[in-house]
Amino acid sequence: MDIALLSGYAVLSIWGSRQRRPEVRVALTAGTQTGMMLGLILISSHVVEWFGLDRNRAAQFARGAGSTLLMLGLLAAAGSAAWERTRSIKLGVIGGLWCGSLGMMILLGFALTLNLAFEAHAVAWLHEAFDASGMHDPGAFVVRNSLKAASEILIRMPIAALGMSLIGSLLNWCITRSKTLAVLAAWITPPALVAGAAALWHADSLERAARPPFVLTGVLIAGIALCSVHPIWSGLHRRRNAGQR
């Protein structure tokens, strides 16, 4: 599974490296810029979790929810930025996919290196899962757990990148055509973010079986709100520059 998924990422990378059309290169540049930021955010979240810096519930919630929502926001921003520079929804989606793939490769390269280089710490970090696995070789368990986690995230990232970059591109397209919509979105976005965060905080206080509806609602509301951040900023920025001229 990992080989098949990484082969798909490799195909995308080879395709991107061979593109010479200016508009495609512009979209890939937008994806690269946001992908680097995404990779740094994901690495930071992993380091905090790895070293146990989020020992209390509030810190764990801030790390988990914060990194997830920032990831969604950056994927949407990649699509929005690529659309703004190319005026193409398709290229906006390509920029988002490029952002997601780059951020994911940065995270996987860092996380796998950390797990294998500091195997003893990884075993101590995963001791509960290791005890429940029934395996006797700690090193083999670390490798298996790492590959399983990689499979899950390699599947989820393109889906998230596709959806969020498409929404970001469409929102920028809509906001560009309506000043009223830009102002309305600017007013709605902050309370939507608060509502989404509140739903996630409430979910964190419930039993695991009761969390999914609130987690889904919180991520959906906050994610859509974050999708509009870059379109709002770029739309208002364009109108301000037009007014100065």
Residue 204 lies in a domain: no
Nearest-CA neighbor of 230 among 85, 81, 66? 81
Question: What is the band of 112 on the pLDDT scale with cuts at 50, 70, 90?
Answer: confident
Its domain, for residue 28, covers 2-173
Average the pLDDT over 108-129 and give the result. Answer: 78
Note the pLDDT tens digit of each residue in 141-158.
777 878 888 888 888 899
Residue 73 lies in a domain: yes
Q: How far apart are CA 213 and CA 2, in angstroms?
A: 30
Q: How far apart are CA 172 and CA 87, in angstroms?
A: 10
How many alpha carbons lie under 13 Å from residue 171 in its C-beta half-sphere?
31
Q: How far apart are CA 191 and CA 222, in angstroms?
A: 9
Nearest-CA neighbor of 92 among 7, 185, 170, 208? 170
Residue 225 lies in a domain: no
Residue 205 lies in a domain: no
Q: How far apart are CA 97 and CA 37, in angstroms?
A: 14
Note the pLDDT tens digit of each residue in 163-173.
999 999 998 88
Task: Give me the count of residues in the chain.
Answer: 245
Residue 216 lies in a domain: no
pTM of the predicted model as reported, rounded to 2 decimal places:
0.85
Total domain count for the chain? 1
Note the pLDDT tens digit of each residue in 24-79.
999 999 999 999 999 999 999 888 877 776 677 777 777 888 888 889 999 999 99
Residue 200 lies in a domain: no
Residue 217 lies in a domain: no
Share in percent of the chain as helix, strand, coil (round to 5): 90, 0, 10
Residue 202 lies in a domain: no
